[in-house]
Amino acid sequence: MNADAHAGHGHDDHAHGHGHDDGRDHGSFKSYMTGFILSVILTAIPFYLVMTGAIENRNWTIAIIVAMAMVQIVVHMVYFLHMNTTSDGGWTMMALIFTVIVVVIALSGSLWVMYHLNVNMMPVHDMRNMP
Domain that holds residue 45: 24-82
- Whether 8 is in a domain gets the answer no
Percentage of the chain beyond pLDDT 70 is: 68
Q: For residues 27-54, give the mean pLDDT.
A: 94
- Whether 112 is in a domain gets the answer yes
Pick 91 or 8 by higher pLDDT: 91
Residue-wise pLDDT for 98-131, tens only, equals 888 998 899 889 889 988 888 888 676 555 655 5
**103 and 67, same structural domain?**
no
- Whether 66 is in a domain gets the answer yes
pLDDT in the model for residue 60: 94
**93 and 70, same structural domain?**
no
> Could you count the other beta carbons within 10 Å of the beta carbon of residue 43?
13
Q: What is the pTM of this model?
A: 0.58
CA distance 10 to 53: 64
pLDDT in the model for residue 80: 87
Pick 85 or 33 by higher pLDDT: 33
- Whether 4 is in a domain gets the answer no
CA distance 68 to 41: 9
CA distance 88 to 91: 5
- Over the chain, what HEC string results? CCHHHHHCCCCCHHHHCCCCCCCCCCCCHHHHHHHHHHHHHHHHHHHHHHHHCCCCCHHHHHHHHHHHHHHHHHHHHHHHCCCCCCHHHHHHHHHHHHHHHHHHHHHHHHHHHHHHHHHHCCCCCCHHHCC
**57 and 32, same structural domain?**
yes
**90 and 75, same structural domain?**
no
**77 and 91, same structural domain?**
no
**75 and 94, same structural domain?**
no
- Whether 130 is in a domain gets the answer no
Residue-wise pLDDT for 50-75, tens only, equals 999 999 999 999 999 989 998 998 89
pLDDT in the model for residue 125: 59
Res. 29: pLDDT tops 60: yes
